[in-house]
């Protein structure tokens, strides 16, 4: 399962947990996780588009 997890989502989880552990504040972790996740969305959508494109 880990090998099949999208890199963007995995990175978002790692960064979120790191911020929560470092600051001991869940609110900061949520804010950073949402911001980081928004950056990962375009890359994951592009990967899905490449995977399921009809041009082969």
Q: Is residue 2 in some structural domain? A: no
Q: Is residue 44 in some structural domain? A: yes
pTM of this prediction exceeds 0.75: no
Give the model's pLDDT for residue 52.
Answer: 74
Q: Is residue 29 in some structural domain? A: yes
- The parent domain of residue 47 ranges over 8-52
The number of domains in the chain is 1
Quick: pLDDT tens for 1-56: 556 777 778 888 999 999 999 999 999 999 999 998 888 777 666 666 776 776 65
Give the model's pLDDT for residue 44.
Answer: 65
Q: Is residue 47 in some structural domain? A: yes
Residue 44 burial (10 A CB sphere; 0-12, 13-18, 19+): middle
Residue 24 burial (10 A CB sphere; 0-12, 13-18, 19+): exposed
Q: Is residue 26 in some structural domain? A: yes
Q: Is residue 1 in some structural domain? A: no
Q: Is residue 27 in some structural domain? A: yes
């Amino acid at each position: 399962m880990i090998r099949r997890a999208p890199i963007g989502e995995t990175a978002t989880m790692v960064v979120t947990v790191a911020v929560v552990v470092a600051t001991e504040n869940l609110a900061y972790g949520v804010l950073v996780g949402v911001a980081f996740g928004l950056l990962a969305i375009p890359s994951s959508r592009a990967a899905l588009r490449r995977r399921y494109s009809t041009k082969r």
